Structure 1
């Protein structure tokens, strides 16, 4: 009977491994035998490539052919010859659908051309935060991948200082005289060639104007989502044009020019208020950081949109009456972002809560007047709520309610930088949210091991915990909780060897551990972690000056699963041979 599993058809094994879900759970069975490795390779759909994991001189096309179902490649961490790597991808014969080139120095033009000639299946291209991006790059993208459906060219990192804020910046944009940047001319070419484009993100491109929104909305007939945040020359007119020219737009995320929009809008027949007459399908609206009025909110009400997601983060100009009327109309919202709204109080949230029974995610960050009353009110009266964000509020300032009702849906809480948050409030949160998966209480300085211990004992599903900057926390308060913990960010906390030894008695599934700046951590505690956490993949020890020099090599050789290790800077060897030696054992030891 013991050997009968060997005769199971590979299709059965594929079903078994597919049920494991995330790639991180497939590594262990892939080590059992070559047959399992081959089956799992066929199931892998995404691959992240970084310098240490690919040896270009040997060619990678043969390696990539092992992954028959590979649809996505991420080069975010790759800093080698990206042109050559893309040529290898082109030769692999993969039916690639998603390519992420974010954070590259510049677009690998020659590699893109070769990839475009070979791969006709690419649907999504992500080029966010490139160090250098210009109109000619957009031409290469459009010519190489004319069937693109989603494109992200957001936030290029060219440093032009405050040039976009100059008085004559608008004239220069119209004349197209910004060299080495993305301009309206580049967006116009892109719009005319990418006929299947459905989604585009042009945020942070400071030299595109309203004309770019006009080009995109009028030429790309299938365009359903536009993200154009922090574009200095886009005004309310551009936003109105985008809505007017594309009545089928589903999602719009913009923040118009704060200085000239009112004057521009008053001289134009197009205004945001009037444009909503044309809207038919808008389900997501993000007007964050804009000056908006109750009249604008009323025009959204009158438009009778299929609205499901609304973001008014840090907006000014509207009143409580305006937002109350809007939420009353759209009481079926799933997502609401009202971060940094000055007039919000516990009482006003009590009134608004009557319209939030369908909300899954709510963002109340930076509303300093909100306390425990708001948190427990929402947790106990919004039955579908899955995530609450209440960072930089007055959470913890009041007592918890005497009667606490559990919310089985709540899975994610982001509560960082709440200086009033105490162990007592954390105990109440643990009782109300038994199915928490992710909790962020970083930089909540009053929290101790006792408070976080309540979470460990009552919230058995916790997988991600962020306690960075909790200077009074030396341990997680329990040896029995956190049995499913996978990620612990504890940088700048007071976690020490004793706390680590206590934690690993139950947290044996730990994958990622961040202990940067934890001065109480030494080799003793780290050895306990490495010995007990058999799936450990990443450890960050920057500024842990009490970690001995011999511990790094011991960690690499003792835990085969370890892939990424950031040692204390003073322990980093300048010997490339030693780092290559660690790499051959499967772990990349960083150079600070």
Structure 2
């Protein structure tokens, strides 16, 4: 007798449910049985709060009671009452380990104090890109959460105002200072990772304090800090015994002040090195090659004064690299990459952005010689500009392709790439003006694995081609493309699991095509119609009330939506907002 499926242990069901691509796919299963509901609730460990409707009828506290295993909360795209959210988190019984409050306004300091006193489990705090972040915020974090292990305070958007206004304020009111970092380093003795990039008042003293007081420090990022020099970098190398990752910029070699290259031999555990916007020499790259460190990740971005032979010394020495990024290395050619590929047999991710001499020949070479490669980024290269004679070998491991801004990319080239990469899940061909729906359709035929498709600014693409359903496609970014009503009908018929749809500036879209989307895309959560001039704002009412799953909508013109209408839509569960606050389209 066959065993009843209800008798299967919960652990077996967890293994099954964990193989689903997205938590939204489990919603219908959670409704079919109380047992499934309990198991699925326990599997949810990450929670993204996007919508102010979360407070209606106490929904946020109810969700925290339902999903009791939440470890990570992201409020970076939340545009409501952040103080209230932080207090709700603090009052919950969750054991949150990671909190992302980036891209918000000033931190709710009182809420952070309560959070610190109630939630000792918190280890990771992301405060990047806040509108206001100064020493007072840093002091509150240091005093309230001394057990933090990872902190990101990068790129605050502090408005420094005019010179006269700056004179009336002390430096501590303008941004983070050395004093703030020194106090933080004394409080957060267990700190393992910190990003202080984009804080203009910090100097070498901040690096010295962090290296001296935070003995467990493993990763440090300090890009775009103009007063941090090579002396500070060398101090970090010599005095952080556990350092495994460093991101630096502004190195000026050769320079009368620094005649010698940085000595990497002191940082024996260094596995990731990123060098940005620096004047470096082959001597520095040779020094890194001779250091004998366990390098796994290497980045050169917007640097100058080095040659192919400097790169060759790095790659020939460290043949176990998993991540490699060359950004704006203009001298690289297909021949160079062919020579380098022999050393890249363990590579998983490669970024070759703004390398304008690299063509599809380099792509074919990478696919053939890098058997573990998953992610290829060749944005603003010269794909389509090669002779097309290279060997074409299928690589089933490649899952992500960023090919945006390749002006020579053609449908024929896309056809070849699709034959090489049959399992691609993310394809970005934005601003590739030479392609049409025929090229994109090559990636969408058969058993397509595509989950994210970006065709922004592709006027030649009017639809995504006909064929079978695309049940895995969840995110479609088609802003300012040629998508019209006929294309919308095709999308509605093929993309039954579509979650997020960006149609900003698509003048060919009208009510007729959108009705196909809203009728057939049963679980649509977000749609952007900003600038769709042929869609009437009156139609917004129908969209909101006909689609219970809809959580965010950007109307053709927000100015025509009254405040009372927005409140009504919000009570219905849909946030109607402007284009700026809707730029995040990928659900966690």
Using the size of structure 1 for normalisation, the TM-score is 0.90
Question: 1:369–1:393: 8 Å Cα contact kept in structure 2?
Answer: yes
1:485 aligns with 2:468: no
**Paired residue for 2:99?**
99
**Paired residue for 1:166?**
none
Give structure 2 stretches of 5+ with no counterpart. Answer: 580-588
* Pairwise CA distance, 1:449: 1.3
Counterpart CA distance in 2 for 1:554 and 1:40 is 32
**Paired residue for 2:492?**
504
1:472 to 460, 474, 487: 460
1:195 to 167, 189, 203: 189
Counterpart CA distance in 1 for 2:123 and 2:342 is 41
Question: 1:236–1:261: 8 Å Cα contact kept in structure 2?
Answer: no
Counterpart CA distance in 2 for 1:563 and 1:57 is 16
Question: 2:346–2:372: 8 Å Cα contact kept in structure 1?
Answer: yes
SS of structure 1 residue aligned to 2:313: helix
Q: 1:465 to 1:582 in 2, by over 3 A?
A: same
**Paired residue for 1:440?**
428
**CA RMSD after TM alignment:** 2.7
152-161 or 328-337, which deviates more:
152-161
* Pairwise CA distance, 1:88: 2.6
1:236 to 205, 218, 230: 230
Using the size of structure 2 for normalisation, the TM-score is 0.91
* Pairwise CA distance, 1:6: 7.1
Question: 1:311–1:338: 8 Å Cα contact kept in structure 2?
Answer: yes
**Paired residue for 2:319?**
331
Aligned ranges for residues 544-583 of structure 1 at < 5 Å? 544-569=532-557, 572-576=560-564, 578-583=565-570
Give structure 1 stretches of 5+ with no counterpart. Answer: 164-168
63-72 or 11-20, which deviates more:
11-20
Counterpart CA distance in 2 for 1:62 and 1:432 is 47
2:220 to 218, 221, 226: 226
1:337-393 Cα offsets, whole Å, 9 max, x none, are 111112111111111112111111111111111112111111122211111111112
For CA contacts below 8 A with separation 6 or more, give which structure has more relative contact order: 2
2:302 to 293, 314, 323: 314
Question: 1:155–1:205: 8 Å Cα contact kept in structure 2?
Answer: yes
**Paired residue for 2:369?**
381
Counterpart CA distance in 2 for 1:261 and 1:154 is 29
Question: 2:470–2:496: 8 Å Cα contact kept in structure 1?
Answer: no
1:586 aligns with 2:573: yes
2:272 to 262, 265, 284: 284
* Pairwise CA distance, 1:254: 1.3
Q: 1:572 to 1:529 in 2, by over 3 A?
A: same
SS of structure 2 residue aligned to 1:413: strand
Q: 1:488 to 1:14 in 2, by over 3 A?
A: same
Question: 2:160–2:174: 8 Å Cα contact kept in structure 1?
Answer: no
**Paired residue for 2:255?**
262
Question: 1:250–1:283: 8 Å Cα contact kept in structure 2?
Answer: yes
1:277-303 Cα offsets, whole Å, 9 max, x none, are 212100000012211111111111111
Counterpart CA distance in 1 for 2:95 and 2:489 is 47
SS of structure 2 residue aligned to 1:285: strand
* Pairwise CA distance, 1:413: 0.8
SS of structure 1 residue aligned to 2:445: helix
